[in-house]
């Protein structure tokens, strides 16, 4: 089971609770134009009910040990949701997981997602005992490609027309990081 909450140098990552509906909704609503480029759930009609459903599903997935969604917040502003970061096992037998994320448009370029994903990589390898962690990045999302590079992920290949976004099929690039690569990287801090 992953730790909760997680504190990084600047961030607080914690499980969602039902009281987070308003702050999640406001954060998504403020970021919709940017999120719609990359995420199929970021629809123009996204509403408070969608935020509530996401949180219900997140709480349920955590209880069922299927996925671990974290609300990302500044330590200095613990009541304000600034993004999500999640990790889940794609296959328990193969010990392969995946990380997904997004950040409030007003917080881009500040290293929030790199810092949050670094924590998720540690959770994946240390707590979930994964062998490999994947990132699936939509074609053209150069900011996410930079996150993958900063964290030492390797570009494995392209999944052609993987997801429908804005009425068109979009390729996704798969990046991966293996546990032995992580252990040898400067990002790994043995306890």
List the structure tokens of 171: 């390729």
Structural domains in the chain (count): 1
pLDDT attached to residue 1 = 75
pLDDT attached to residue 89 = 79
Task: Assess if residue 62 is contained within a domain.
Answer: yes
Domain that holds residue 110: 6-183
Task: Assess if residue 167 is contained within a domain.
Answer: yes
Tell me the CATH number at 11: 3.40.630.30
| Residues of the chain below pLDDT 70 | 189-191
Task: Assess if residue 188 is contained within a domain.
Answer: no
pLDDT attached to residue 191 = 52
pLDDT attached to residue 166 = 84
Instruction: Report helix, strand or coil for 92.
Output: coil
Look at the alpha carbons of 70, 50, 48, 100 in this order and tell me if their dihedral is positive or negative: positive
Task: Assess if residue 27 is contained within a domain.
Answer: yes
Could you tell me where the DSSP H helices lie in 79-140?
112-122
Q: How many CA atoms lie within 13 A of 172 on its CB side?
A: 18
pLDDT attached to residue 189 = 65
pLDDT attached to residue 20 = 94
Task: Assess if residue 60 is contained within a domain.
Answer: yes
Identify whether the C-beta of residue 130 lies closer than 8 Å to the C-beta of residue 156.
no
Task: Assess if residue 103 is contained within a domain.
Answer: yes
Task: Assess if residue 189 is contained within a domain.
Answer: no
CB atoms within 10 A of CB 155: 14
Task: Assess if residue 99 is contained within a domain.
Answer: yes
Q: How many CA atoms lie within 13 A of 135 on its CB side?
A: 30
pLDDT 10s digits, 105-159: 999 999 999 999 999 999 999 999 999 999 999 999 999 999 999 999 999 999 9
């Amino acid at each position: 089971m992953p730790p909760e909450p997680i504190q990084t140098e600047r961030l607080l990552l914690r499980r969602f609770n039902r009281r987070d509906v308003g702050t999640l909704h406001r954060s998504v609503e403020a970021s919709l134009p940017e999120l719609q480029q990359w995420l199929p759930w970021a629809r123009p009609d996204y509403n408070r009910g969608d935020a509530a459903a996401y949180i219900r599903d997140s709480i349920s997935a955590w209880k069922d040990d299927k996925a671990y969604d974290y609300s990302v917040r500044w330590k200095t502003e613990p009541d304000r949701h600034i993004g999500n970061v999640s990790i889940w096992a794609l296959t328990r037998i193969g010990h392969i997981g995946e990380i997904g994320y997004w950040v409030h448009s007003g917080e881009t370029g500040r290293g929030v997602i790199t810092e949050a994903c670094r924590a998720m990589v540690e959770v994946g390898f240390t707590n979930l005992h994964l062998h490999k962690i994947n990132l699936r990045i939509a074609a053209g999302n150069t900011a996410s490609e930079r996150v993958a590079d900063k964290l030492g992920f390797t570009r494995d290949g392209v999944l052609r027309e993987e997801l429908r976004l804005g009425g068109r099929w979009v390729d996704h690039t798969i990046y991966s990081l293996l546990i032995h690569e992580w252990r040898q990287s400067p990002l790994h801090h043995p306890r």
